[in-house]
Amino acid sequence: MSKVLSLSPAVRRAVADELLRREFVAFVRRTFETVVPGEELHLNWHILALAHVLEQVRQGKIKRLIITVPPRHLKSITASVAFPAFGLGHDPSKKFVCLSYSGDLAVKHAADFRAVTNSEWYRRIFPAMRISPEKNTEFETVTTRRGGRLATSVGDSASRTGRPLESTSA
């Protein structure tokens, strides 16, 4: 630990950024700090397990995943906010659909996602991921590489029709 403290602030920042870029659970922690400032995150085993399986999904090792944990256990911040931001950071051409039980919650998660992707720390660790000015709405965010995140809710027509992400404004 003393070796780390003896490093210059710039080197410590570079090491921390690399950790955020590589380790999804570290990214979840930083996402939590961004969207719930002032609250303390308790990295319980279920968050570590959730981060692990979502990283397996990102790597293509898991093709289907159902997450069943009780409310208030960080599944939405982890799966609907941090996961698409982390995935798009690694590959801005990926497409994510985030389904919530209500339109209001879908909008909140989309706003949290934008808060993360617009943050200084995110732009520093994922410089290639940029939101396109062509499509950055309350429900849909498209990247400059035509990937993005679509927010919808259970009763929304997009969730029933399977509407793909759009790449230009309507």
- Mean of the pLDDT values across residues 99-108? 92
- Looking at residue 159, its pLDDT comes to 46
φ and ψ of 79, to 5 deg: -90, -35
**Torsion over CA of 100, 77, 113 and 63, rounded to 10 degrees?**
-70
φ and ψ of 54, to 5 deg: -65, -35
- Looking at residue 167, its pLDDT comes to 39
Give the 3-state secondary structure of residue 118.
coil
Q: What share of the chain in percent tops pLDDT 70?
A: 88
CA separation for the pair 52, 101 (Å, rounded): 24
- With a CB cutoff of 8 Å and minimum separation 6, the contacts of 135 are 141, 142, 148, 166, 167, 168, 169
- Looking at residue 155, its pLDDT comes to 72
